[in-house]
Structure 1
Amino acid sequence: MIKATVKTLAILGASGHGKVIADIAEQLGFCVSFYDDAYPNKKNIEHWPVIGTFSDLLNVPSTNINVAVAIGHNNTREVKIKTLAKNGYMLPVLIHPTAVISKYAQIDLGSVIAANAVINAFAVVGRGCIINTSAIIEHDCRIGDFTHICPGTSLAGGVSVGRASWLGIGSKVKQLIHIGDNTLIGAGSLVVKDISSDVTAYGSPCVKVSENSQAF
C-alpha cells in the first residue's frame, strides 16, 4: 500500500492571525507547526507546538516544508516573505474553503484569503497579502503586494490599492478609486476620492489626517 504524503506547513508568527492561518491550513489538509522568535519561552499557541525561531526555520531544508507568514505588520511580513522566497521555501496561497474566488482572479504567492472573502473576476491580489474575513474584492481590482484588507472591507469594481497599505475593518471604497502605497485607511471609512501614498486617512467621507509612520 502506498502511504499518502502528509502536507506540512510551518507558520511563522505565533499570533492571533497565526491561529486563523492554522485553522485554514488544517481545513486544507496541512499538518501545522509554529516558529516564533519568542521560542523557547513560548512553546505552544493553543494546542499547536512552537518548535523554533525564524533562524531555526531557515535551517530546515526548503524542499521539505511549506511556510506561511502570520505577521500582521506589513513591512515585517514583506521582509520575512522575501527572505523565505530567496532561500527557496514554498509559500502557498491559503484559501479558506468558504471563500469565493473567481477562476479569472489572480492571487500571488504567500497570500492568505480568510473565511467568506470574495474575490471576483479579473481581480489581482499581490504577493503576501491578507484578504481577511468577509472582505469583498470586486471585479478588476488590483491589490498591491503585502497589503492587508481587513475584515468586512468592501472594494467596488476597478479599485486599485498600492503596496503595503492597510484598509481598516469595515471600510468601503467606491468604484475606480486609487489608494496609494503605505497608506492606512481607518476602520469604517467611506472612500469616495483617491487617497495618496504614505498617509493616514479616515472618515466618511475619508480624508487625509496625517502622514503615516508605517506602524501597521
Structure 2
Amino acid sequence: MEPGLRRLYIFGAGGSGREIAWLAGQVLGDAVPIAFIVDDLAYVTAPVNGISVQLVSDVAVQEGDRFVVAVGDAGLRRKASVACIGVGLQPATLVHPRVEMSRFVSLGTGSVLCAGSILTTNIALGEHVHVNVDCTISHDVRIGDFSTLSPGVHVSGHVHIGKDVLIGTGANIINGSATSPLVIEDGAKIAAGACVTSSVAPGALMAGVPAVRKR
C-alpha cells in the first residue's frame, strides 16, 4: 500500500474499471475506499459492483486522494490523467499481490500491473503503463509512458517499447540484443496473436506470424 493513501479514484467504470477495482481491492483490502470517476455526465450511473460513480469535476480532493486510469486507449488515458491531475489528484501505482518481479524493476507513477504477470530484471516502465493479466517481461526491457500490454503478452529480453504503444492479446515480442535491441516505436499497434521479430516503425500496425506491417 502506498503510504498516506486515503482514497483511490478509478477513472472509468467499464470493463477495465471493474477489473482494476478488483485488483485494487486485492491490494488495499478494506483499508482504503474506492470510487469510480468519469468526465461525462452520460457515464454517471448507479453504483457499479457496489462502487459509486461520479464526475471527476465533482471530486472534493483531500490529502492522500489518488487515482489510476482504467482506459485502454493511450490518448484517452492521457486526457483522463490530465483531468484528474487538474482537480488535484495524484497518480497511484497498483501492483497485484500475484505479480512476481525482482527489485531491479522500476515503475512509473500511475502504472498498473495485473495478476499473474512476471517481470524479471533490469526493467523500466514509464508512467501510466498497463500490464494486463498473465504477461511476461524479460530482462533489459523499457516500456514508455501510456503503453499497454494486453492479456497474455510475452516480451523477450532487450526490447524497447515506446510511448502510446498497444500490444494486443497473446502477442509475442522476440528478443533483441544488448548492442541492437528490438525497438517498437511510439504509437505502434501490435495485433492480437502477432509475433514481432524485428523493430517496428512509429505508428505502424503489425499483424501475423511473423508480424508484417499492415498500415
- Whether TM-score is above 0.5 comes out as yes
- Which secondary structure state, in structure 2, belongs to the residue aligned with residue 28 of structure 1? helix
**8 Å contact kept, 1:93–1:110:** yes
Provide the secondary structure at the position in 1 that maps to 2:34: strand
1:175 maps to 175
Q: 72-81 or 34-43: which moved more?
A: 34-43
In 1, Cα distance between equivalents of 2:7 and 2:97: 18
Alpha-carbon distance in structure 1 between the residues aligned to 2:84 and 2:37: 13
Which one of 27, 51, 56 corresponds to residue 54 of structure 1?
A: 56
Give SS of 2:33's match.
strand
CA distance in 2, matches of 1:10, 1:88: 12
CA distance in 1 between counterparts of 2:105 and 2:208 reads: 30
Look up the match of 1:213. Answer: none
1:185-196 equivalences under 5 Å are 185-196=190-201
Partner SS for 1:127 = coil
- Deviations along 1:32-80, one digit per CA (max 9) or x if unpaired, are 1111234675122122221x112223xx225241111111111110122
Question: How far apart are residue 103 of structure 1 and its match?
Answer: 0.7
Structure 1 regions of 5+ residues with no counterpart?
Answer: 211-216
Residue 208 of structure 2 is aligned to residue 203 of structure 1: yes
Partner of 1:159: 159
Distance 1:134 1:143, change over 3 A: same
User: Given the two structures, how large is their TM-score scaled by the length of structure 1?
Assistant: 0.88
Q: TM-score, normalised by structure 2?
A: 0.88
Q: Which residue of 1 aligns with 2:16?
A: 17
Unaligned runs of 5+ in 2: 177-181
Q: How does 1:33-182 map to 2 (within 5 A)?
A: 33-36=35-38, 37-38=40-41, 41-50=44-53, 52-57=54-59, 60-85=60-85, 88-176=88-176, 177-182=182-187
SS at match of 2:36: strand
Q: Over the residues paired in the alignment, what is the CA RMSD in angstroms? A: 1.8
